[in-house]
């Protein structure tokens, strides 16, 4: 970790941010919930959790968080999981819900691309973490499917030969949840790599 004692922000408008808090506690990392533009003050990275992307989209605008999120991304890392990936993406395929993505990583995603809640599943996937490969137990819960990867976007993990974790610049995005597990190695790697 390059920065001593970083404070990690958790976008806490809706979703499973509490599970990320447990992992941050397990790693001994300071964190705070981000619900208002003023909450970006003093944080060194942001976790954009899974949840319901339509609801998150509405709340981002209701609490005037869209521009602060984009501004934050220009200088600080963001890690988005599931709905977080959807909102970080450049484009949403078949976007009937009218979700407005933030356009922070050049990918196209299909909401619920792996099926609705009934078809949720778990799988062990290999994630390329720099010089090593980590096996991560991943939960795909109404998960988005990446249908296009733009130039400069690195694919870090695949499921059935399709990208499920991607990175570009200071943005990391995953189709799946890993925060439902005791293994916090993926989160620890994000902190080491991006801070």
Catalytic sites, residue numbers: 82, 177, 179
The span from the CA of 83 to the CA of 74, in Å, is 21
Structural contact between residues 10 and 17, judged by C-beta atoms closer than 8 angstroms? yes
Q: Could you please report the per-residue DSSP string of 72-124?
A: HHTTS-EEEETHHHHHHEEEEET-TT-------EEEEEETTTT--GGG-EEEE
Tell which residue, 73, 84, 74, 78, has the closest CA to residue 16.
Answer: 84
Tell which residue, 82, 88, 53, 95, has the closest CA to residue 69.
Answer: 88
């Amino acid at each position: 970790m390059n920065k001593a004692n970083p404070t990690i922000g958790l976008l806490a408008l809706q979703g499973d941010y509490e599970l990320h808090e447990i992992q941050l506690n397990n790693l001994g990392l300071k964190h705070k919930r981000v619900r208002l533009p003023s909450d970006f003050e003093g944080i060194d990275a942001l976790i954009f959790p899974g949840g319901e992307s339509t609801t998150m989209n509405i709340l981002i605008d209701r609490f005037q968080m869209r521009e602060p999120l984009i501004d934050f991304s220009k200088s600080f890392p963001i890690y988005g999981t599931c709905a977080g990936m959807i909102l970080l993406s450049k484009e949403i395929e078949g976007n009937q819900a009218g979700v407005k993505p933030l356009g922070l990583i050049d990918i196209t995603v299909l909401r619920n691309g792996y099926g609705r809640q009934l078809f949720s599943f778990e799988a062990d996937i290999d994630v390329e973490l720099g010089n090593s490969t980590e096996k991560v137990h991943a939960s795909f819960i109404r998960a988005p499917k990446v249908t296009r990867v733009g130039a400069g976007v690195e694919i870090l993990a695949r499921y059935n030969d399709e990208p499920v974790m991607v990175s570009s610049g200071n943005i990391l995005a995953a189709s799946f949840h890993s925060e439902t597990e005791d293994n916090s190695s993926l989160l620890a790697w994000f902190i080491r790599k991006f801070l």
